[in-house]
Structure 1
């Protein structure tokens, strides 16, 4: 579905109809400070905890559960949080390379000003998640399920959505370069307000998304290549 009205209009005749993403509504309770020197534990249960400035690099929290937590300015280099459940929580200013969240569940979560590289979220489930600001390089979301997810004002370098399902996902103000949509399924995905949109692979999977006229023109060479059309002159 392509918006041919010439921009990101949300109403009026001819405007594209797309269901909007539902954003998380966080109301954190009073939090307990993370004990100095404490570390993550596999299958750990963390409820109402504030982690501020902690270095969690290389630690293992496989299968851990975080409920009503705030994680601020923490280092997550090589942290293993596979199959973790992060619920009703905020993550602000986190940074790290190779953070492993494969198979994790994020529900009603806000991620603000993250600086991440090579984050593994393949097979993860994201529902009512807001990712605002920051920069994420080489985000692996292969075969993940995203529902009601908003990427807002962030930079995504070569995100991999291969085989993923995206439903009610938005990218307002984002710079998205080198995206891989191979074998992805898109339902009510709104790309119109992305500041920049580059699709490296899987442009044929854009059925179920809405783009602007300007984006259509920018993507014309990619569409032509996918159709085997040779453009000359």
Structure 2
């Protein structure tokens, strides 16, 4: 199948008429890979989301959804690798266990979306709105989240290995137990973010903004960041010494 055929836009009615057998737990073909990546099983039982199209388990790899309205859509376990979802409205969508590898979700709206256990390796999420989204145990290795909004997002146990979060806003997000190995956090805002028990290894922290309410994985990190930062306001700081990287 040629790339043009794989990426042809869906007809207008397709977003609400496509049906496929839903993925059952981790039984679909990608299940073994996701289970290996995340090291745990996820519950993909349907959650009532009134008004959204049902596309659970559908193979939509490489398809074009630019600017489409998929609010509250059921996309559990769907295959959207390489799909063009730029500017798509995915507010409150169910994307649990969805394969979004190398998909383009630049400037997409995913506020309140459920992305638990989603595979987002190499995914473009620059400028995306992920406020209040649930990304627990999501796999975001080498994903691009430059300028993304992750306020109050649930990032517990998510893998951000080599992820670019440059200029992203993560205020009041919960990144407890997350993996941030060689993560690019330059210019990001983590005021009030919880990094308790997170693996923070060799991150890039130039111009990182944080606050007294930010919790670090170890006391060592708190001391290191404080000594490498200047105070910009009451209880607010910015990293100015790149020696704080470690």
- 1:137 aligns to what? 151
CA distance in 2, matches of 1:207, 1:82: 35
1:185 pairs with one of 196, 199, 211:
199
Deviations 1:184-225 (A, max 9, x none): 12111222332x22363532437579758442768xx89xxx
Whether 1:161 aligns to 2:175 is yes
Q: Retained in 2: the 8 A contact 1:187–1:208? A: no
Q: Does 1:110 align with 2:145?
A: no
SS of equivalent to 1:151:
coil
Pair 1:38 & 2:14 matched: yes
Give, in whole Å, the separation in 2 of the partners of 1:208 and 1:105: 29
Contact 1:180 1:199 in 2 (8 A): no
Alpha-carbon offset, residue 35 of structure 1: 2.7
Q: Quick one: distance in 1 between partners of 2:212 and 2:154?
A: 15
SS of alignment partner, residue 190 of structure 2:
strand
Number of residue equivalences: 192
Q: Which has the higher strand share?
A: 1
Q: Where does 1:92-111 land on structure 2 (aligned, <5 Å)?
A: 92-111=106-125
Residue 54 (structure 1) aligns with: 68
Q: Which residues of structure 2 form unaligned runs of 5+? A: 16-53, 237-246
Give distance in 2, aligned partners of 1:193 and 1:117: 22
Secondary structure of 1:197's counterpart equals strand
User: Secondary structure in 1 aligned to 2:127?
Assistant: strand
- Give ranges in structure 1 of 5+ residues lacking alignment: 1-28, 223-233
TM-score between both structures, scaled by the size of structure 1? 0.73
Alpha-carbon separation, structure 2, partners of 1:55 and 1:199:
39
**CA displacement 1:69-119 (0-9 Å, x = unmatched):** 111111112100001111122112211431000011111111122123211
Q: Could you report, residue by residue, the CA deviation over 1:124-175 in whole angstroms, capped at 9, with x for unpaired residues?
A: 1111111012422211110112211010222222121111222111112222
Q: When the two structures are superposed, what TM-score results if normalisation uses the length of structure 2?
A: 0.69
1:215-230 equivalent positions in 2, closer than 5 A: 215=229
Higher relative contact order (CA 8 A, sep 6+): 1
